[in-house]
Amino acid sequence: MNTTNHDGPNAHLVDALAATDPSGRLRAALSAGTDRDPRLAETLVARCAVEPDFFVRDMLTWALCRLPAEITVPLLVRELEFDRVQARSQALHTLSKIGDRSAWPGVSALVHDANDDVVRSAWRAAVALVPPGSERALAADLASELGRGDRDMQLSLSRALAGLGEAALPVVGAAAASSDPHVRAHAEATERLYHDPDSGFVLSLEMAKRVAVAGSDE
């Protein structure tokens, strides 16, 4: 679909959002959010999928949050079905900021995505959008990912589980008794993070790994 309308009243913004200079794109995204013209929604969503600059992407998300959710949310949910990694991860990030739970089915479908960037965004969005009463089920779903990835990725998952509050404690506690030492260590570090958010997660994780591996050798 061609989302660029060079004949519309905001043709200058459409062009500016694709400018070579990132500062120009940033100003254009700021103007789009200030103007709050719903006709720019498709252009803003499409730009999120390809924008290389972090700060511009963040401003695009802000601009989309300023538009009516009934317009932006269906467009963003559609992005979740695309192959492009940035399209999915940025749509998930924006949906988490908008906070409209109608996006929940599309978001929850990506909490086991094979791509690390996408799945981390999906974890954060899922916690933000989980329907009331479904926290325990989401915690169990997320807990099946314990032990996955590097320390930064594991921290992302632990923060997501901690964000679910007490609903996550039973499933994390069960994972702490796993026969897999990596899952067990990650679960124990997650429990520490939940009870003490200011604790050093990396140190807790490394200590738990050493204990878990030593225990598995007995």
Residue 93 belongs to some domain of the structure: no
Query: How far is it, in rounded angstroms, from Cα 173 to Cα 192?
Result: 11
Tell me the Cα Rg of the chain: 20
pLDDT score recorded for residue 209: 56
Q: What is the pTM of this model?
A: 0.87
In three-state secondary structure terms, 176 is coil
Residue 20 belongs to some domain of the structure: no
Residue 67 belongs to some domain of the structure: no
Query: How far is it, in rounded angstroms, from Cα 40 to Cα 166?
Result: 41
Residue 168 tokens, joined: 């996550």
* pLDDT, block means (10 residues), the chain with 218 residues: 50 92 96 95 97 97 98 98 96 98 97 97 98 97 95 93 95 94 91 82 56 49
Domain count, the chain: 1
Residue 167 belongs to some domain of the structure: yes
Residue 216 belongs to some domain of the structure: yes
pLDDT score recorded for residue 39: 94
Smallest CA-to-CA distance from 185 within 196, 176, 193 is with 176
Residue 207 belongs to some domain of the structure: yes
Residue 156 belongs to some domain of the structure: yes
Q: Are 173 and 191 in contact (CB under 8 A)?
A: yes
Which residues have CB under 8 Å from 119's CB, separation 6+?
110, 111, 112, 113, 145
Range of the domain at 145: 134-218
Residue 144 belongs to some domain of the structure: yes
SS3 content of the chain, % helix, strand, coil (to 5): 70, 0, 30
pLDDT score recorded for residue 204: 55
pLDDT score recorded for residue 198: 74
Q: Are 133 and 104 in contact (CB under 8 A)?
A: no
pLDDT score recorded for residue 11: 85
Q: Are 42 and 69 in contact (CB under 8 A)?
A: no
pLDDT score recorded for residue 210: 55
